[in-house]
Amino acid sequence: MKFIRNIVASLYLVWGLVVFIAFMLLMFPFIILIQLLFKGKKAQALSFTCLRIWAKAVAILCLYRITIKNREVVDTSKSYIYVCNHGSYLDAISVVLAAPQAFKPLGKIEMVKAPIFGILYKKLVVMLDRKSPESRAASVQALKVEIAAGQSIFIFPEGTMNTTDELLGNFYDGAFRIAIETQTPLVPMVLINAKALLPRKAPLQVKPGIITCLFLPPVQVTGFGLEDVECLKATVKAQMAEAILANQ
């Protein structure tokens, strides 16, 4: 039975990859055209619409349903720093479908190497090479520029996928430091069940199912100083962990 299940899971993963690539190729010329014709927040918003189409197609054709809770806490007329747990390759389609507004994400520079996807990645994402202090500083500055232009941003504070048995991995300071330095509120999001449906460490355990995205109330940082980074980070992490536990 295990052998048969592995065969089925392998075919399912191949199907998911084909759908992922096919719809990314379909959206590719539209996003490139948008990036040529528009700039700044307008370009990101239109490109984000294309990403929603891609994510919706992947979700439907791979039998994933994204349910969204408490999205009304977000005032889409304002800019935010979204932070979210990260434990699965399904997180990307989940946050794109769940987010109530377009955002500029922070992403790993390694993804640039992916054919086709890498070209879009460079246009839509603020890239980060965590091994390079210069890259870290440049990415922080780029995110601050986006916020100053009225654009929301998105960061996985764990930095990479959490492959441990812990609810959340260690958080980096970046999102919280930027929030304080720009006085921009944070919106914590938690994804429930994505890791169980497609765990990074055991991809052959993949299966269709329901992913829930829960929005927590915005965390205001008015009056906070850089000496409050650790406290802010710990508070947000505790809120997210509590929400995951309550909704598993």
Residue ranges per domain, the chain? 65-247
Return the DSSP state at 218.
Answer: P
100, 76 in Cβ contact below 8 A? yes
H/E run at residue 81: strand 81-84
Strand order in the sheet with 209-215: 64-69, 209-215, 186-192, 81-84, 152-155, 103-108, 126-128
H/E run at residue 124: helix 117-124
Which 3 state secondary structure label does DSSP give 215?
strand
Q: Is the pTM higher than 0.85?
A: yes
Which of 102, 10, 12 has the alpha carbon at shortest distance from 55?
102
Return the DSSP state at 170.
Answer: P
Give the model's pLDDT for residue 112. Answer: 67
Please report the beta strands in 90-244, taking only residues with DSSP state E, as ranges in sequence order. 103-108, 126-128, 152-155, 186-192, 209-215
* CA Rg value for the chain: 18
Give the model's pLDDT for residue 134. Answer: 80
**Per-residue pLDDT of the chain in tens (248 residues, 90 and over written 9):** 788 888 999 999 999 999 999 999 999 999 999 999 998 899 999 999 999 999 999 999 999 999 999 999 999 999 999 999 999 999 999 999 999 999 999 887 777 676 667 777 778 888 776 777 787 788 889 889 999 999 999 999 998 899 888 999 999 999 999 999 999 999 999 999 999 999 988 899 999 999 999 999 999 999 999 999 999 999 999 999 999 999 98
β-pairing verdict for 209-215 and 186-192? antiparallel
Displacement of CA 29 from its chain's centroid (Å)? 23
* CA atoms of 175 and 81, how far apart (whole Å): 7
CATH of 65-247, one of 3.30.70.1380, 3.30.565.10, 3.40.1130.10, 3.30.70.20: 3.40.1130.10
* CA atoms of 82 and 191, how far apart (whole Å): 13
- Encoded tokens for 32: 């490139």
